Amino acid sequence: MSKNLPAYARKPRALPAALIALVLLTATSPASATSSAAWSAAAHHTVKPTIVLVHGAFADSSGWNGVIARLQNAGYPVIAAANPLRDLTGDAAYVSSVISTISGPVVLVGHSYGGEVITNAAVGHSNVKALVYVAAFAPDEGESGLALAGAFPGSQLGAALITRSFPMPGGGTGTDAYIDPAKFRQVFAADLPLAGTSLMAATQRPVSVAALATPSGVPAWKTIASWYLVAGSDQAIPPAAERFMAKRANARTIEIKGASHAVMISHPRSTADLIIAAAG
């Protein structure tokens, strides 16, 4: 009966052994392996680094919103870490723990006191490929944020601070610093609308005075490529201090004239562009 069936319905003949061997040899040939390796290398090469953003004192992660939107539109995965603002050692350890959960390359970005945190948190992480300082402290070993801010004239922050005591977990009390809401816009965000800065003043997160006074450890910027955004009209960290730290870290630097300390909010495009340059 099979003789009367059409050709496509007949039982297929077994492939000759020599032909099977040829097919297997082609599938496992060096050319095929090389092609697979090339595809794998290309896929790995196109993986974008994760951008980890660390806010500073008197702020929270929402200050990065405009920057985050631009980074995500450019295809970058982003994590905006919640900086505890309690003590430099603990804050850096927390951000370090976030980095430890990321398997691929990382670009670490810090604003203000967040710069101190990333300077310490990046140490020991080979996947951190770049540091970006946004109007931020970039201390050397043994330096504190308070010492750096006071080493150059121009900061109005000290005179604008109010303090409140808080209970320490192990007993005793610590001291939190806030910016006087009446002076918040002038010191922190003079190039932003008053309505927005009034909300920022009311929702500001305090920083422990001890965190700002703690000496920094061995700086990661000595071994990791750095970028720096100088806010030209910063009233919190003097622009002269920012330029000094950027130059000392051999950072690729841009300066935005007229920008306040909250430069990532008032100039999100320029901030994002600098981060993307560091990522590239």
Helices (H), 151-260: 157-160, 184-188, 194-203, 209-213, 239-248
Predicted confidence band at 209 (pLDDT cuts at 50, 70, 90)?
Answer: very high
Architecture in CATH for domain 47-279: 3-Layer(aba) Sandwich (3.40)
Task: Find residue 177's DSSP bridge partners.
Answer: 163, 207
What is the pLDDT at residue 47?
Answer: 87
> What is the DSSP code (8-state) at residue 180?
-
What pLDDT, in 10s, does the model give residues 8-53?
A: 334 444 444 443 333 333 333 333 333 344 333 433 456 899 999 9
Measured CA to CA in angstroms, residue 53 lies from 62, 74, 184, 233 at distances of 11, 16, 23, 22
pLDDT digits 0-9 by tens, 216-250:
999 999 999 999 999 999 999 999 999 999 999 99
Q: Where are the alpha helices (DSSP H) in the chain?
A: 17-27, 30-45, 65-73, 88-100, 114-121, 145-150, 157-160, 184-188, 194-203, 209-213, 239-248, 263-266, 268-279
Q: How far apart are the first and last CA of the chain?
A: 69
Closest CA to 207 of 178, 180, 235, 186: 178
| Sign of the four-CA dihedral 159, 164, 168, 169 | negative
- Do β-strands 173-179 and 207-208 pair in parallel, antiparallel, or remain unpaired? antiparallel
Q: Would you say residue 256 has pLDDT above 60? A: yes
Residues 6+ apart with CB under 8 A from 77: 48, 50, 51
**Strand pairing report for 106-111 and 50-54:** parallel
Q: Over the stretch 127-164, which tens digit does the pLDDT of each residue have? A: 999 999 999 999 999 999 999 999 999 999 999 999 99
Decide: helix, strand or coil at residue 224.
coil
Amino acid 46: pLDDT: 65
Average pLDDT of the chain is: 88
Q: Is 115 in contact with 238 (CB distance < 8 Å)?
A: no
Q: Which two tokens stand for residue 65?
A: 């919103």
pLDDT given at position 17: 44
Q: Where are the domains of the chain?
A: 47-279
